[in-house]
Structure 1
Amino acid sequence: MNRGLTAKGRATRQRIVAAASLLIREQGVAETTLDDVRVATATSKSQLFHYFPEGRSDILAAVAEYEAAQVLEAQQPYLGDLSTWESWQGWQKAVLDHYTELGRRCPLGSLTAELGKASPQARAIISALYDSWEAALVRGVEAVTSDGPEESRARARSILAAVQGGVVMLQGTGRTDYLEAALPAATGALRPVSA
């Protein structure tokens, strides 16, 4: 999408994507119009279609990519190396801190609940996010347990579901206590007996 754009063009496109992401987090996909994006970014209709020729579907795909990157970035550097219990604790703290800070304006809920229904292209991006996230968690589970591949995958999926469930409940209630309870419960079995 960014090929052939100047540095200024890439920056403008990124500014539009970031603003559209924020609007979607606050208003939802269905309620966010191209006019809303234009107003929030002070861009003309022709400028918007210059960067997003397919209009709404292009913007939604770009927002899905942007938000997916935000979800994974917020978990670094821990997600890249979950080879010790200490790194798992650091990851868990990073996740809790991140979603506590964002509250109801979290990209994960927006991605799953809103953008995942928006288009096949956005759904594919979100599916790739979860696949990448799961793979990193599987590597981490395998590093700290003697689980086989299937058990490692099942543990990783339960951890991922704990995060997602906690985030969905956070969006519905404004409270992080569900995530604060679910995440340690999901990762607790990874703790070494001596720790």
Structure 2
Amino acid sequence: MTRTLTSKGAQTLSRIVAGAAAEIREHGVDEVRLEDVMARTRTSKSQLFHYFPGGKEELLLAVAQYEADRVLDDQQPMLGELTSWPAWEQWRDRLIVRYREQGTQCPLHILLGHVGRRTPAAQAVVTGLMHRWQAAIATGIRSMQASGDVAAAVDADRTAAALLAGIQGGVLLLLATGRTDHLEAALDLAIDALRGPTGDPPATGR
């Protein structure tokens, strides 16, 4: 959506997208009809096509962006406050809980599969998500460097990229196995490596 919306229009659009996301989570993308979304969101056909003239495919892409935003929102405020080792541990725990609750049914993964992962629009959703996620992790690393808890020689951007790659690998294995073991291992080893010789000893009891 590139056109300017009024406050009321933005609220209506958000209501349609959130309602469509809820329908998809409950019934699956293949079972959801535009009529179901209209009934759930109390919108008319003319309203829905005003905001999504491309119909269901355009709406699904908007829902994919909504779900991508939720990936980061679900990690807050921890992801935005990686300023101490306890904060990193809290973020790690929140991430594990988030994906454990999600299980093997990832709404974003399903939606992107439906709209076509290789389309420019779908790739933009994924690229935007990964860029923001990596940037948040890198900001946390730089904060720890400023306090002397992470060595200054650590490349924050490259380390954040590696940590994010480990998370994504763990998530893919979760989707295949239903287990978070690999995700937990990737997070634990990455955080312990960040501590290095200047940080506190690794947390126990994980």
Confirm or deny a common fold (TM above 0.5).
Answer: yes
What one-letter code is carried by the residue in structure 2 that aligns with 1:38? E
What one-letter code is carried by the residue in structure 1 that aligns with 2:185? A
Contact 2:60–2:111 under 8 Å retained in 1: no
Contact 1:103–1:174 under 8 Å retained in 2: yes
Q: Could you tell me the TM-score, scaled by structure 2's length?
A: 0.74
Contact 2:34–2:56 under 8 Å retained in 1: no
Distance in 1 separating the partners of 2:192 and 2:95: 15
Q: Secondary structure at the match of 1:105?
A: coil
Structure possessing the higher relative contact order (Cα contacts under 8 Å, 6 or more residues apart)? 1
2:173 to 155, 158, 169: 169
Distance in 2 separating the partners of 1:51 and 1:69: 19
What one-letter code is carried by the residue in structure 2 that aligns with 1:17? V
Alignment partner, residue 78 of structure 1? 78
Structure 2 residue 177 is matched with structure 1 residue 182 = no
Q: Secondary structure at the match of 1:54?
A: coil
What one-letter code is carried by the residue in structure 2 that aligns with 1:122? A
**Offset, 1:77:** 0.8
Alignment of 1:59-138 (within 5 A): 59-107=59-107, 109-110=109-110, 117=117, 119-138=119-138
**Offset, 1:38:** 2.8
Q: Could you tell me the TM-score, scaled by structure 1's length?
A: 0.78
Question: Which whole-Å deviations, capped at 9, do the CAs of 1:142-178 have from their partners, x for residues lacking one?
Answer: 23322447x3222211211122111112122222222
Deviates more, 1:101-110 or 1:77-86: 101-110
Please provide the CA RMSD for this pair. 2.9
Unaligned segments of structure 1, at least 5 residues: none
Q: Secondary structure at the match of 2:75?
A: coil
**Offset, 1:23:** 5.6
Deviates more, 1:91-100 or 1:112-121: 112-121
What one-letter code is carried by the residue in structure 2 that aligns with 1:137? I
Deviates more, 1:58-67 or 1:81-90: 58-67
What one-letter code is carried by the residue in structure 2 that aligns with 1:180? E
Note closer, same or farther for the CA distance 1:46–1:112 as it changes in structure 2 (3 Å cut): closer
Distance in 1 separating the partners of 2:112 and 2:13: 23
Residues matched between the structures, number: 189
**Offset, 1:94:** 0.9
Structure 2 residue 145 is matched with structure 1 residue 140 = no
Q: Which structure: larger Rg?
A: 2
Contact 2:64–2:112 under 8 Å retained in 1: no
What one-letter code is carried by the residue in structure 2 that aligns with 1:179? L
**Offset, 1:22:** 4.8
**Offset, 1:55:** 2.0
Note closer, same or farther for the CA distance 1:90–1:189 as it changes in structure 2 (3 Å cut): same
Alignment partner, residue 163 of structure 2? 159
